[in-house]
Every structure is written in structure tokens, then in C-alpha cells.
Amino acid sequence: MSKYVVALDQGTTSTRCMLFNKRGETAASHQLEHRQICPQSGWVEHDPLEIWRRVEEVIRGAMGKAGVAARDLAAIGVANQRETTLVWNRNTGEPYCNAIVWQDTRTDLICAQLAERGGQDRFRQKTGLPLATYFSAPKIRWMLDAIPGLRRDAETGEALFGTMDSWLIWKLTGGPSPAAAHVTDVTNASRTMLMNLKTLQWDNELLAAFDIPRAMLPAIRPSSDSAFHGLTRADGPFGGEAPICGVLGDQQAATVGQVCFDVGEAKNTYGAGCFMLLNTGVEVVQSKHGLITTVCYQFGGNPPVYALEGSVAIAGALVQWLRDRMQLIDSAADVERLASLVPDNGGLYFVPAFSGLFAPYWRSEARGLIIGLTSFIDRGHFARAALEAAAFQTREVADAMASDSGVPVTALKVDGGMTANDLLMQIQADVLGAPVTRPKVSESTALGAAYAAGLAVGYWSGIEDLRRNWSVDRTWRPSVDDTLRVKNYTMWKKAVSRTFDWIE
């Protein structure tokens, strides 16, 4: 019997490889960051070959720490930053350019032109998404327009498009050998703006509207698939053949890792951004309050399960910005120590609209601001305001979820890199006025990808097995009164309104 299921979590800021046992416990883990490339204002890129090298290193690192070989693995699951767009050559394996990251706003004009007919919600009925720079289709279109010869290669199928899952699976299964798998799963496909949410197929009307050739697109598969997505190559980083049977966008993976399998169950993940997903079952529910509709998961031949999502572009990325660009702190963890030096924000609000504002506003012309500056403000207030920004943005999407579902958020399951920050967790409970619970395995994204893979090969027999694995690490309860909570949130909303209409 195989000992472990392995998960790759290719995130916005870093890549992890984690091995899990049957109880969902971590047997080994290895993680590496990659560069955030910002060539001009509003542009964010990743180097696909650098990310592939990180993937190779973390796989070898985690397998080495656990002392296992490919034959010890029951299955492989992949979770990935969603929407980030890559195009590479099938014959050479060379990317045509850097990946355009989900936070990148260069496609503003493409989106605005498409919205001239039908408005921002022109494709929402089919895709669940507003026309926004966030999603893949405008990014593919930008590449097709900007890179000489790419459209010709795309039309013949020599140029391949993929989100990060497709790229990594193609590499792991031997690309550029002709046998390499060019696939994606329904959750990742639902973020491209090219898939019809109901048919789970690429949609001709959408392809025509964005002018994207079908020949460059991957095959769409279930998230958990016993007829696996591909077999790893013996000469690759796993050092042997193992089946890739689980693929999920990272936020959907975290929803699975947090065992939100019932309608009405939700989780919030704090990574580079912040993403709250609410399981809405097998029905497509359209939001009236600025959320998006997305495929949550599809296990084998079962009907897909959908979710409402509140996507916040900048959360942990703001902490990283304080570290790398402002050099206010040496490590992300330092922000907690600095923020703990002050009892409150001292009247300072930091709205990190670096990529415009996502949910619930969808304002691409907004830009970040810091407001409330007085001579009293010091570095501690900056750190505190940066943490509060994640908590206030989460409150806004929680309010939108409550309005859409008619049920208030009375408790929140959380995970992701930022939840290591205990002060942030207390701030979140205070801002929300509801308890916040972190599970023992806070790497829910990797765990969810492992679950999808393990379910496909019978390593876990069903979702009841997975539910038994979930347990509480710690819960934070609100510690401020309602008057203060309302006052602070009102000031936050006022600060947000000042970011609007900044870009002409």
C-alpha cells in the first residue's frame, strides 16, 4: 500500500510540495519563493521557467526529507494560483513571454472596449464573472496582440495556453515530448472567462468575443479524476512514474481541504490575496452583491459543485510589499511584532488597491491610498493598518455573502500563510464580530489538492474520511464592543470610497 499522497501548491508568492498521510497530517514539506517581476506600474509577471525550477526543487526537497521514492506515492495533486496566464511553444517548451499574473492590470483597455457592448456583466450569465483584468481571457488576448507570430502559432496549435496547473502538468508529464498532457480542470477553466459554467466546455461565443483560437486551449477534466490527468516521467523530479489525479485552483483546493462539502459552508484563505468561498451546491447562483460564481470542485463523473467567491486582490502581498519595496520589516512574520507595539491604528487606514479593487467593488480605476496621517503616526501604526486592511476587506466580502445568501456569517474557518499571524486573527474576529477558527493543518490548499488526488485512487474512501481529519487548532472570539466595531468599519468604508476614480 502506498504511504503518502503528495501535493504541489504553486502559489502567487511561493511553491510548496507537501506529503500527507491518511490522517491528513503533514509528513514532509518544502517551500521556495519566486520573483515578483513588476516591469511597469500595474504590471505583475512571473518567469515560468523559474517557477518550474522551484517546482523541481521543492519536489526533490520534500521527497528527500520524507525519504520516499515515486513508488511510495499513491497519487499526486496540484493546486495553483488561478488566472495567471502562460503561453508556450509545444515543440520547444519555451514560453513566448513571462506569465501575466492575476494581479496585473495591463488589460484594462481590452476589458473596457469589450464592456462597451453589454457592460461589465456582459458575460456574467455564462461565466459567473465580471469583465475585469483579473481573469485569463483578456490576458491571452493581450499576448496574441502584442507578440509577433503568436497568433499564427496559436491557430495551428503550436502555441499552447495554460494556467499554472496546465504548464506544470505538461512539464511533469514530459513536455516538450509529444506524449505530454495538455489539460486543466473545471475549477481553473472557470477562471479563464472562456468556459461555460453549465456545460463545463469552452464556449464558442466567448472565444469569438475575445478572438482566441480554440486550438491553443487545454482539455478540461474533473478536479478529481481516476482516469488521471497524466503520469509523471521517470526522468522528472519525482524520479519515477506516479499518477496526477487531482487538480484544483488553489482557493477551491482550500475549500476542499477545509472540508466545506455542505451547502452553506465557507472558508477564507489569506495568501497574497484573500479569498472567501461559500459552497452553494449543484446550482449556479449568481451574486447580486459583487461576488463571483465559480466551480468549486467536480469529483469524477459527479455533477460539479459551485461556489460564490469574494476575491480580494491584496492581503499578504501588502506585507510582502512592506518587506521588499518599503523595507519596513525584514520578514513577513515581523509585521506582527511591529503591529503589536501599538494598541490600535491611531486613525490610519491603508487601502491596498494596487490592482484596482476586486470584490465587491470591481473598480479597476481605483488605486491604493494611506489616509489619516498625523505626526502621531509611527511604523507600528503602518504595520497595524496593513493587517487591518486584510480584515476589513474580508468583512466586506462576508457582508456581500450574507446579503446574497440571506444568512449572516456567524463563524469563519481560515487558512493560508497569513493565518500564522495571531494578532491578525484577533483583529479579524473583532472586525467581523464573529469567531475565527484556524484548523490544525493550516495548509488547506495543499491538503485539498491531496484529497482530490487521494479520493480518485481510493487512498481515502470518501468525504467522511476527510471530515474526520479536520480539527481545530485555535479559535479567536470578538473582544471589542459593537460601537467601536461600527466606528472603525465606517472609517474604512470612507477610506475605500476615496480610492475610486483615481486612474483617468
Ligand X SMILES: Nc1ncnc2c1ncn2[C@@H]1O[C@H](COP(=O)(O)OP(=O)(O)O)[C@@H](O)[C@H]1O
59 binds, among ligand X, ligand G3P, none (CB under 5 to 8 A by kind): none
Which amino acid type is present at position 321? W
Q: Does position 82 bind ligand G3P by CB under 6 A?
A: yes
In degrees, rounded to 5, the angle at the alpha carbon of residue 344 between the alpha carbons of residues 341 and 346 is 100
Using CB distances below 5 to 8 A depending on partner kind, what does residue 162 bind out of ligand G3P, ligand X, none?
none
**324 labelled ligand-binding:** no
Q: Between 128 and 273, name the residue whose CB sits nearer to ligand X.
A: 273
Point out which span in 79-87, 204-212, 343-351, 399-407 binds ligand G3P (CB under 6 A): 79-87
Residue 100: how many CA atoms within 13 Å on its side-chain side? 25
Q: Which three cell numbers stand for residue 193?
A: 472567462
14 labeled binding residue: yes
* 250 vs 453: CA distance, rounded Å: 14
Order of strands, edge to edge, in the sheet holding 14-20? 26-33, 14-20, 4-10, 73-80, 243-249, 230-231
- Write the interaction track for ligand G3P spanning residues 214-253; mark x where CB under 6 A is met and - where it is not: -----------------------------------xxx--
Count of beta carbons in the 10 Å neighbourhood of residue 328: 16
Q: Using the rule CB under 6 A, is 107 a contact of ligand G3P?
A: no
Window of 46-54, 75-83, 151-159, 478-486 that interacts with ligand G3P by CB under 6 A: 75-83
187 is in an annotated binding site: no
- Would you call 328 helix, strand, or coil by DSSP? coil
306 appears as a binding residue in the annotation: no
Of the candidate residues 102, 238, 362, 382, the single one contacting ligand G3P (CB under 6 A): 102
Beta 219-221 vs 99-100: how paired, if at all?
unpaired
Stretch that binds ligand G3P, among 109-117, 216-224, 265-273, 452-460 (CB under 6 A): 265-273
Residue 134 among known ligand-binding residues? yes
Instruction: Identify which of residues 250 and 396 has a Cβ nearer to ligand X in the complex.
Output: 250
**Residue 133 annotated as lining a ligand binding site:** no
Q: What is the DSSP string of 366-389?
A: ---EEE---TT--HHHHHHHHHHH
Considering only 42, 273, 310, 380, the residue that binds ligand G3P (CB under 6 A) is 273
Cα dihedral sign, 441-444-449-451: positive
**Residue partners of 179: CB distance under 8 A and separation at least 6:** 173
287 assigned to a ligand binding site: no
CB atoms within 10 A of CB 90: 18
Interacting residue ranges for ligand X, rule: CB under 6 A = 11-14, 271-272, 316-317, 319-320, 332-333, 335-336, 416-418, 420-421
Nearest to 314 by CA among 476, 104, 164, 172: 104
Per DSSP, the three-state class of 332 is coil
User: Would the annotation count 316 as a binding residue?
Assistant: yes
Provide the 3-class DSSP secondary structure of residue 275.
strand
Contact between 309 and ligand G3P per CB under 6 A: no
Closest-CA residue to 97 (of 108, 105, 109, 85): 85
Residue 104 interacting partner from ligand X, ligand G3P, none (CB closer than 5 to 8 Å by kind): none
Q: Please give the residue whose beta carbon sits closest to ligand G3P in the complex.
A: 271
**What, of ligand X, ligand G3P, none, does residue 83 touch, CB below 5 to 8 Å by kind?**
ligand G3P
17 binds, among ligand X, ligand G3P, none (CB under 5 to 8 A by kind): none
251 binds, among ligand G3P, ligand X, none (CB under 5 to 8 A by kind): ligand G3P
- 14 contact choice in ligand G3P, ligand X, none (CB below 5 to 8 Å, kind-dependent): ligand X
Establish whether the linkage from the previous residue to 95 is cis, with ω within 30° of 0.
no
* Cβ at position 102, least distance to ligand G3P in Å: 5
The reply, when asked if residue 128 is annotated as ligand binding, is no
- List alpha helices for 116-236, DSSP H: 124-127, 136-146, 150-156, 164-172, 186-189, 204-210
First to last CA, the chain: 61
250 marked as part of a ligand binding site:
yes
CA 352 – CA 361 distance, rounded (Å) = 13
Using CB under 6 A, list all residues that contact ligand G3P.
11-12, 81-83, 102, 249-251, 271-273
Annotated binding site for sn-glycerol 3-phosphate: 12, 82-83, 134, 250
Annotated binding site for ADP: 12, 16, 316, 417, 421
